[in-house]
Amino acid sequence: MFIIGIAGGTGCGKTTVVNTIVEQLNSDDIVVISQDSYYKDTSHLSFEERVAINFDHPRSIDFDLLVQHVKTLKKDTAVKQPIYSFVEHNRTGETVLTEPKKVLIVEGILIFNNQELRDLFDLKLFVHADSDERLIRRMKRDIGERGRDMNEVLDRYQNTLKPMHQQFIEPTKEFADLIIPYNNYNAVAIDVVKTIINNLI
């Protein structure tokens, strides 16, 4: 199994890059898991307490489970990936069966922060976009898909997302094998990644 880690700040275009690669290759030999599925279970907290959690800090991620699942997939064994609700700020209690494939893509803002996880990646990509572009994308997504209002999105961005990006995400660029600028659609960089994957499958 060849494992690719794709990191980058919130709203940078990671998911678009992943979806473009998967759709254009149209192969059954690729599986994707998202860091977003591995936020820690917060069932013991009230909704108000869950809303206050800093989800952009590495301690919000259940890295132990994520690393375990990547290692299990690498051993050619399926895992039950948690399903997370951004509306409830918690896992739903349901899972999705994830089968091992020739290529595993792991994507998320904080995946390069954990060395044990980072060391499992055969190729590390960092998707970069400027802060204004990321904020616009985040607002569109959180308001349109996650039921947030504009004041909540802006407050979280200013007090949590921006400082966490500067402290925990931007510095992990140094671990990347390839940095993909995504202020505009970067077809060349995506084609390079697709070529690498094509040679494997």
pLDDT in tens, 127-183: 987 666 666 666 777 676 666 777 776 777 777 778 888 899 999 999 999 888 865
Which are the contacts of 161, defined by CB distance < 8 A and separation ≥ 6? 10, 56, 138
Task: Evaluate whether residue 87 is within a structural domain.
Answer: yes
Residue 201 lies in a domain: no
Q: How many other C-beta atoms are found inside a 10 Å radius of the C-beta of residue 152?
A: 14
CATH code assigned at 150: 3.40.50.300
For residue 88, the enclosing domain spans 2-192
44: tokens are: 């013991």
Question: Is residue 97 one of the residues assigned to a domain?
Answer: yes
Q: What is the pLDDT of residues 53-62, one digit of tens each?
A: 888 899 999 9
* Residues 10-56: tens digit of each pLDDT: 777 788 888 888 888 888 899 999 999 999 988 898 888 888 888 88
Rounded distance, CA 125 to CA 1, Å?
A: 17
> Residue 199 falls within a domain, yes or no?
no
Q: For residue range 83-130, list pLDDT tens digits in order.
A: 998 778 888 889 999 999 999 999 999 999 999 999 999 999 999 876
Is 136 in contact with 11 (CB distance < 8 Å)? yes
